[in-house]
Structure 1
Amino acid sequence: MLGLPFLESLRARDAKAGPEAAPRRFIAFFMCNGVNMDRFFPSTRYGALTDASFGANRAIAPLASYRDKLLIPRGIHMAPRGFGWDPSAGDDHAKGVGCKLTAQPLVQGSQYAAGISLDQFIANKLNPPGTPALTLMVGARVPNVRGHISYSGSEQPVSGENNPWLAYQDLIGVTNVEDEALERLTKRRQSVLDLVGAEYEGLLKKKLSKADRDKLEMHFQTVRDLEVGMGNAGLIPRELPPTRAAEIEAVDPATVSFDAEFKTIGRMQMDILALAIATRATRSATLQWGSGAYGPIFKWDGMNHEYNHHKLSHGNTKDDDSGSVVDGYEEMLFDIDRWFIGEYVYLLDRLAGYDEGGTSVLDNSAVVFMNELSNGKIHDFRDLPYIIAGSCGGYFKTGQYIKVTRQQNTLQDEDAPHNKLLTTLANAVGCTAEGGGPIENFGAFGEPGEFDELKA
């Protein structure tokens, strides 16, 4: 069944009941290989974010229009710590991915995380029974810990779907429709909206407010745009001669992971993610861009790089640093960081476009930009780049740049472990402990409690 956005006009009217509170959601926007730390964070002092915080020489410049909806914490280190300072299997790339949403060590042998990730924990607590978090991927996924940030339990990685057509089918429930309808949809590329046309027309005939009518039309236009975009990208099978069709049938559909499709697939995935969150199909979702110690060769939007993201993060022509120095790699990393921030803005735009009775889906979410590392050249786990967009229903203090460590230098591992951020996020969306109280400690490393300084 095609999910719908929240329509205020169709909400059950009860004179004694107040307005229904919109659900609070968590979204992880995860990229790999670290950032250019010299040009990532605001150049202004801690406190209120200003226009100057988003200068042209900052990777976060594309976020300027969202200034009042952002919270940028500074000084967070990962737990377990890297550099072999805490007991865990795996190298620093493996830990930067596998421990990011779990705060658990990696298990010897499999090198997968020893516990559940935050997204699946939230889904278990808040989603309908049996509904996991939405787990999406962009680009190539390596078949090990570096390709998985989501875990349903100890050594139970959840593979992100990197084919948006499959993710979309699953979201709208097409996998449950009759074979005849599915054949119409996939072979003739008939719109999903055609399959639910009667329901759509019926809704339009109801007494909807202008806001709800606009919302419904935006929702269905998004569905239509997704289908058109997928068709243009070749993701929906076309009617070809039988011989050629058989050749296509025999190949692996993982061609969606090609570098050339990175941006196109990424935007489709973000449209699907926003649709899932807005229609309340899930309260948590992750979007992983590439795999740790890997990543695409950026040849779009003004970039024409020769080496992939990981090599550039080391400034070397070889992944193991045995090659020569790449001239100008710092500027290339800055361009990559700024590009990812631009895609983050694209997701925020989609979420902000869904109204929930005076607030937006973005306002009722915590959309967290995160990276496996800070300085990728040395695999540093300290002073991690985090950005939280949305107040999560008023839980977070937005429009602020806040130092959360007590240490003078933010490049530290004495306090402010990242598991405290995971705990804060779990409580922000409304998770509770078994006894009904707040979550006290998420993960196996770090410290108990929340980052109170981030709360409104």
Structure 2
Amino acid sequence: MKLVTKRVNRRAFLRGAMKGVGTVTVGLPFLEGLPERSAWAQNEAPVFGLFICTANGVVMQWNGEPERFWPPQTGALTKQNMSAAANERATCLLADYADKLLIIRGVRYPHPNNGCGHAQGLVQCLTASRPSGSNNTVTSTGPSADTIIAQSVNPAGVEPLTLYSGMKQGYIDEKLSFSAAGRVRAAEGNPYNVYQRLIGLAGSNGGSNGGNGGADLLALRRNSVNDVIREEMKELLGRSELSKADRERLDLHFQSIRDMERTMMEMGKACSADGLDTQAIQAMNSGSAFRQNGVIEQVAKLHMELVGFAFSCNANRVATLQIGDGTDQTRYTIGGQTIERFHWVSHRVQSDGSSGAAIPNAVNWHIEIDRIRMQTFKHLLDKWSQYTTPNGPLLDNAFALWTNQVSIGPAHSFDNLPMIIAGSGGGKLKQGQYIDVRGATNDRLLNTLIAVAGGKGTVGSGGQLNEMLA
């Protein structure tokens, strides 16, 4: 993961040094009182984009199963009408952000499912290109939307921030972000590595130099990155030019760093037999702390926070997050019970195929998993509402697309794919609406988002979905 650094001056960072730790470099958020310390060029109004793809479909009306995903009716979304349906409809758990949402039903992939629906769905999710190959080995025949955006708005050579949450079973792993036809981009599944790169403590191999890097030493000493840059931080906070809003932005910025550090350390300790810091750090460095069965949503939340942090520092303009591999086997805990693996639940039988012993509670479990996933997405909305850009809250100057590789688990359907867009993309996207586009292909949706983000190119047919625009 290469960060956007060429476009900003050195004053857009705080730096500090500690013996044995090395130099720490922390990007600053937008400061209206000190524009010269900003990571934005004058009059720049970037739009940031995050593409999230989840696994195994959602529970919507199909073959006798109840509708438990979409809002009750198309039209205006309000906090009142969404809250009224929140007990039954997963999307309505986002009621607090009704006026920041564009929910779109009726979107389909351009190319039919003629093999493994999970793999083919992932390949088409951001490329809308015809899959090449068969079964789990399929690949794209074109680049993904994030690549086109990055090539247009990032400095040369700065690729999208490409992230992953969950276990990797080796059957269908990353298949979301493609740099070109047939070239899948490796996704970072370890939030600790992303964090180290963002604060300038990663080694040349992208990790922390074999387990004795600066971030590791800070954690062992129970210090924060904030402790290393404390002197520069105090000097900055003492500047009279800072507004009250600037001070609040900085407080949030530094608190976010500390919160992420603590969350990662606690997840590391959970993998330690005795809760030892050294074992916790080893678990974070190896990534084992973030690949445990059942922590997929915690890791997704961390990645969402890291993306928000990167966007608020103008360190990258576009990111992807794949949550779960193609046949996600996560075992969620529902009502205090660790349930059957999610892929089997989505099939409603004890099998990765279509036949097997029925799972009696499968539909209800899948409903609850959908609700958990919406709560994770709400976590992103909470965080992005706090981060600020030169043009207001990040959520108003970005978009986050939440979708799924397929629409319905048992059917592996490519029709009526779940599509939730949060954020107005700088005022360019409709807000507070639930619309039906009646069979429009996802290339049109993706091309609209590419254009909103300033991308110069298209995927698939090249058309757009004007119904999305404000």
User: What TM-score bracket applies, with the shorter chain setting the length?
Assistant: 0.7 to 0.9
The answer to whether the Cα contact below 8 Å between 1:93 and 1:146 also exists between their aligned partners in 2 is no
Residue from 81, 97, 107 that aligns with 2:132: 107
Matched, 1:279 2:313: yes
TM-score by length of 1: 0.85
What secondary structure sits across from 2:33 in the alignment?
helix
Residue aligning to 1:129: 156
What secondary structure sits across from 2:268 in the alignment?
coil
Moved more, 67-76 or 122-131: 122-131
Residue aligning to 1:47: 75
Matched, 1:270 2:304: yes
Equivalence map 1:98-247=2 (5 Å): 98-108=123-133, 110-143=137-170, 145-175=172-202, 181=214, 184-185=217-218, 187-206=220-239, 207-234=241-268
Tell me the CA shift for residue 183 of structure 1.
6.2
The answer to whether the Cα contact below 8 Å between 2:202 and 2:213 also exists between their aligned partners in 1 is no
Q: Deviations over 1:363-409 (max 9, x none)?
A: 1111111001111101000010001111100111111111112xxxx
The answer to whether the Cα contact below 8 Å between 2:399 and 2:423 also exists between their aligned partners in 1 is yes
The answer to whether the Cα contact below 8 Å between 2:311 and 2:317 also exists between their aligned partners in 1 is yes
Tell me the CA shift for residue 180 of structure 1.
7.7
Tell me the CA shift for residue 107 of structure 1.
2.7
Q: Which amino acid aligns with 2:163?
A: L
The structure carrying a bigger strand percent of its residues is: 2
The answer to whether the Cα contact below 8 Å between 2:119 and 2:175 also exists between their aligned partners in 1 is no
Moved more, 147-156 or 92-101: 147-156
What's the % identity of the aligned pairs?
34
Residue aligning to 1:59: 90
Partners of 1:357 and 1:248 lie apart in 2 by 39
Tell me the CA shift for residue 168 of structure 1.
0.6
Equivalence map 1:321-332=2 (5 Å): 321-332=354-365
Residue aligning to 1:319: 352
Tell me the CA shift for residue 248 of structure 1.
5.7
What secondary structure sits across from 1:344 in the alignment?
helix
Gaps of 5+ in 2: 1-24, 61-66
Gaps of 5+ in 1: 85-89, 406-414, 433-438
Partners of 1:303 and 1:183 lie apart in 2 by 34
The answer to whether the Cα contact below 8 Å between 1:115 and 1:154 also exists between their aligned partners in 2 is yes
Residues 1:186 and 1:205: Cα distance change in structure 2 (over 3 Å): same
Equivalence map 1:273-422=2 (5 Å): 273-299=307-333, 302=335, 304-357=337-390, 359-405=392-438, 415-422=439-446
The answer to whether the Cα contact below 8 Å between 2:269 and 2:275 also exists between their aligned partners in 1 is no
The answer to whether the Cα contact below 8 Å between 1:72 and 1:387 also exists between their aligned partners in 2 is yes
The answer to whether the Cα contact below 8 Å between 1:193 and 1:224 also exists between their aligned partners in 2 is yes
Tell me the CA shift for residue 334 of structure 1.
1.0
Residue aligning to 2:464: 450
Q: How many residues align?
A: 423
Partners of 1:189 and 1:130 lie apart in 2 by 36
Partners of 1:241 and 1:361 lie apart in 2 by 37
Partners of 1:276 and 1:236 lie apart in 2 by 27
Partners of 2:214 and 2:341 lie apart in 1 by 42
Moved more, 215-224 or 229-238: 229-238
The answer to whether the Cα contact below 8 Å between 1:97 and 1:145 also exists between their aligned partners in 2 is no
Residue from 97, 106, 116 that aligns with 1:75: 106
Q: Which amino acid aligns with 2:449?
A: L
The answer to whether the Cα contact below 8 Å between 1:118 and 1:426 also exists between their aligned partners in 2 is yes
The answer to whether the Cα contact below 8 Å between 1:42 and 1:58 also exists between their aligned partners in 2 is yes
What secondary structure sits across from 1:174 in the alignment?
coil
Partners of 2:221 and 2:326 lie apart in 1 by 38
Tell me the CA shift for residue 80 of structure 1.
2.1
TM-score by length of 2: 0.83
Q: Which amino acid aligns with 1:113?
A: S
The answer to whether the Cα contact below 8 Å between 2:189 and 2:287 also exists between their aligned partners in 1 is no
